């Protein structure tokens, strides 16, 4: 027995209208008011976006939305000043001006596209939330703070990283989540090459070596080592709890002594 056409068409009609119901009221009103010619343009754009690779989606969304996102971020002076204050606290010289914010918007889209290469629909969904929601822009500030801090740690020697870890309330967790991945990336990319790693008195040369990293290389390493969520969560933890990362510049960057090693080297070994 053939199903009735009326019954089979109802779910589709309900589903199409339920999508419009999820839009903000002004967007829903705009979409419903479009004449047929302009609706065709919207549908064509939707088709192209959904059929594109994450990299192409990232490029389009960056070009199409960057200026608007940056303008909204600059309007949020309280969050901007709060993040800038934290950057200065960690002796980081990055200034959150329009050019820096715009470069971070582009980087955020590219980083997200790398994370979700196997799930492009999730990337597009997260990118649209970022564009539509006034609250989601804070995730960009979290991302910027977390990224700048991870770049800083990437540029430390292993001895400096250990001293930073010792200062934390939970050194073991900090080492597992941040230091080990960074040191692994150092080794895989030939930035710090351990020699006689298990022999205590042979540790000094590579252990105190300052990584020779350009700004571009540091950015690539952070993006390849950590996901956007990890970076954003790291920044958010700082904003939520200002003392979540204990930092003592003089202690961490003290001059190295030839015959003195920290006592907890085995904790950091990978």
| Predicted pLDDT at 81 | 92
Evaluate if residue 263 carries a pLDDT over 90. Answer: no
Rounded to two decimals, the pTM is 0.76
Mean pLDDT, to the nearest integer, of 71-94? 90
Determine the Cα–Cα distance for residues 25 and 17; give it in Å rounded to an integer: 13
State yes or no: pLDDT of 262 exceeds 70.
no
Q: Please check whether residue 9 lies inside any domain of the structure.
A: no
Written as six digits, the tokens of 60 are 């389009």
Q: Which residue has the higher pLDDT, 261 or 232?
A: 232
Whether 34 maps to a domain, the answer reads: no
Give me the pLDDT at residue 118, please. 46
- Confidence at residue 144, expressed as pLDDT on a 0 to 100 scale: 95
C-alpha 82/C-alpha 264 separation (Å) is 34
Q: Using alpha carbons, select from 245, 225, 224, 223 the residue that is nearest to residue 235.
A: 245
The answer to whether residue 170 is domain-embedded is yes
Does 55 reside within a domain? yes
- The better pLDDT of the pair 110, 119 is held by 110
Of these ranges, 24-33, 107-116, 257-266, the one predicted with the greatest mean pLDDT is 24-33
Model confidence at 265: pLDDT above 50: no
pLDDT in tens, 204-215: 678 888 999 999
User: What does the alpha-carbon distance between residue 79 and residue 73 come to, in Å, rounded to a whole number?
Assistant: 8
Neighbours of 219 (CB within 10 A): 18
Cβ 229 vs Cβ 126: under 8 Å: no
Is the pLDDT confidence value at 14 over 70?
Answer: no
pLDDT of residue 46: 82
Question: pLDDT value at position 260?
Answer: 44
| Residue 2: inside a domain | no
Structure confidence at residue 200 (pLDDT): 53
Contacts by 64-71, CB closer than 8 A, 24 or more apart = 65/105, 65/131, 66/102, 66/105, 66/106, 67/102, 68/131, 69/105, 69/130, 69/131, 69/137, 69/140, 70/98, 70/101, 70/102, 70/105
- Sorted by sequence, the CB contacts under 8 Å of residue 155 that are 6+ apart come out as 210, 211, 213, 218
- Do the domain assignments include residue 262? yes
pLDDT tens sequence across 119-147: 555 556 666 666 666 666 678 899 999 99
pLDDT band at 250 (very low <50, low <70, confident <90, very high): very high
Q: How many distinct structural domains can be found in the chain?
A: 1
Residue 192's domain spans which residues? Answer: 48-268
Are the C-beta atoms of residues 239 and 83 closer than 8 Å to each other? yes
Reported as a pLDDT band with limits 50, 70 and 90, residue 11 is very low
Q: What is the pLDDT of residue 2?
A: 46
pLDDT tens-digit series, residues 152-197: 999 999 999 999 999 999 999 999 999 999 999 999 999 998 876 5
In this structure, is residue 32 part of a structural domain? no
Whether 19 is in a domain gets the answer no
Task: State residue 95's pLDDT score.
Answer: 93
What is the pLDDT, as a whole number, of residue 213? 94
Instruction: Say what the pLDDT of residue 266 is.
Output: 44
Q: Per residue in 225-242, pLDDT tens?
A: 999 989 999 999 988 888
Residue for token pair 């907890």: 264
15: pLDDT strictly greater than 60: no
- Rounded Cα distance between 42 and 24, Å, is 17
The predicted-structure confidence for 17-69, as pLDDT tens digits, reads as follows 567 777 778 878 888 898 988 888 888 888 887 777 777 777 777 777 777 77
Contact 265, 188 (CB under 8 A): no
């Amino acid at each position: 027995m053939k199903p009735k056409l009326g019954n089979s068409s109802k779910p589709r009609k309900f589903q199409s209208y339920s999508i419009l119901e999820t839009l903000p009221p002004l967007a829903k009103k705009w979409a419903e008011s479009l004449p047929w010619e302009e609706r065709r343009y919207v549908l064509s754009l939707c088709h192209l976006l959904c059929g594109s690779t994450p990299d192409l989606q990232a490029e389009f969304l960056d070009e199409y939305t960057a200026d608007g996102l940056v303008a909204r971020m600059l309007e949020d002076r309280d969050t901007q000043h709060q993040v800038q204050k934290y950057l200065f606290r960690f002796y980081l010289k990055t200034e959150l001006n329009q050019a820096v914010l715009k470069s971070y918007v582009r980087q955020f889209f590219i980083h997200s596209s790398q994370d979700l290469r196997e799930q492009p629909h999730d990337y597009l969904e997260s990118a649209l939330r970022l564009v539509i929601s006034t609250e989601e822009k804070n995730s960009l500030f979290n991302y910027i703070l977390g990224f700048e801090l991870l770049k800083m740690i990437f540029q430390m020697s292993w001895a400096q990283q250990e001293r930073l870890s010792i200062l934390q309330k939970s050194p073991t967790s900090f080492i597992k989540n941040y230091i080990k991945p960074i040191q692994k990336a150092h080794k895989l990319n030939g930035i710090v090459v351990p020699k006689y790693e298990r022999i205590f008195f042979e540790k000094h040369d590579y252990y105190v070596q300052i990584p020779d990293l350009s700004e571009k290389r540091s950015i690539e390493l952070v993006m390849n080592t950590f996901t956007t969520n990890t970076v954003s969560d790291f920044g958010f933890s700082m904003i939520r709890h200002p003392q979540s990362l204990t930092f003592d510049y003089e202690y961490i960057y003290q001059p190295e002594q030839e015959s003195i090693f920290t006592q907890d080297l085995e904790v950091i070994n990978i």
